[in-house]
Amino acid sequence: MAERRDVVDQATWVDRFSSLPAARRSLILLSPAFALIGAFGLAPLGLILVYSFLVPGTYGGVVWELSFGAYIQFLFERDIFDGTLTFHLSYLQIGARSVILAGLAVVGCLLIGFPTAYFIATRPPGLRNVLIFLVTVPFWTNLLVRTFSMMLILRDQGPLNSILMGIGIAEKPLSLLYTDFAIGLGLLYSFLPFMVLPIYASLERIDFRLVEAAYDLYANRWRVLQRILIPLSLPGIAGGCFLVFIPSLSSFLAPDLLGGGKHLMIGNLIAQQFGTARNWPFGAAAAMILLSLVLIALMIYARQVARRERNVA
């Protein structure tokens, strides 16, 4: 008897749930996900936002006192003696060089990633999976370790310089390490898979009979690329560009190790403020500025996608 009542109770619980309105039901089912995003995504972000409007504590941390000082500090320098503000560029320069380096990383990744993705997408299906697997192999090793090994390759006595001197391109070792070139190369190497994978996903879906049709209609290889392959893989290209641009912009390992800490990117600036500089509000403000930059870029992209879709419909 008791067992039977158990079954009945269970049934009513399920019945009650399924008799709820659909919207309420999905809300209940989604609540664990919402809780997780709220606790570990939105709450820290809110905290950073709040911190950026506070005053730095002497030994790190914050003093709970409203201030716009952190944002002002980004653009102006306060004179130590009379307290007047003078416009200064050094932080803006860090922002600009971050954008430029990240942009170059995107261009480099695109130039290498598109042909790679195309090559993979045009192999037989079995081989395709193997190659895609190989693309993801670098993820198995820690980024820090990989960046250190880049340092070994690039240093004055490293293999790259030995090869360059061996084939007579360079007479004495080129100083490659601790330059913007090294940072760019590091970003390119770290984020290349993020370019290859989405472009591959786009290219793989393309009906290659369209390529034949274009050849048939007098298009040469270049025109096929320009008129058929690139337009049809544009979602993948755009996705890849964002996936490379965003982490490149906020990267701090590559500039720290490969740039020798001399050439700061905005990621290093933020890390410094929370670390050695002990200015949390300024670090938080820099993080918010970075976040705004990324959001603006995403919004421009989203608007263009929407416009394109409206044209299709």
Would you tell me which residues interact with other proteins (CB under 8 A)? Answer: 207, 209-210, 212-220, 223, 227-228, 231-232, 312
CB of 123 vs other proteins, minimal distance in Å: 15
Closest CA to 257 of 131, 110, 146: 146
Question: Nearer to other proteins by C-beta: 49 or 219?
Answer: 219
| Contacts of 82 by beta carbon, 8 Å cutoff, 6+ apart | none
CA-to-CA distance for 277 and 283, rounded, in angstroms?
9
Question: Nearer to other proteins by C-beta: 172 or 209?
Answer: 209
CB of 206 vs other proteins, minimal distance in Å: 10
CB of 222 vs other proteins, minimal distance in Å: 11
Residues 95 and 104 sit within 8 Å (Cβ to Cβ)? no
CA-to-CA distance for 256 and 312, rounded, in angstroms?
46
Question: Nearer to other proteins by C-beta: 93 or 220?
Answer: 220
Q: What angle, rounded to 10 degrees, do the helices at 143-154 and 180-205 form?
A: 120
CB of 218 vs other proteins, minimal distance in Å: 4
Closest CA to 67 of 56, 58, 81: 56
CB of 234 vs other proteins, minimal distance in Å: 9
CA-to-CA distance for 263 and 187, rounded, in angstroms?
14
Question: Nearer to other proteins by C-beta: 88 or 221?
Answer: 221
Question: Nearer to other proteins by C-beta: 47 or 217?
Answer: 217
CB of 142 vs other proteins, minimal distance in Å: 40
Question: Nearer to other proteins by C-beta: 4 or 310?
Answer: 310
CA atoms within 13 A on the CB side of 256: 16
Question: Nearer to other proteins by C-beta: 150 or 214?
Answer: 214
Burial 239-273 (b: 16+ CB within 10 A, else e): bbbbbbbbbbbbbbbbbbbbbeeebbbbbbbbbbb
CB of 308 vs other proteins, minimal distance in Å: 9
SS3 34: helix
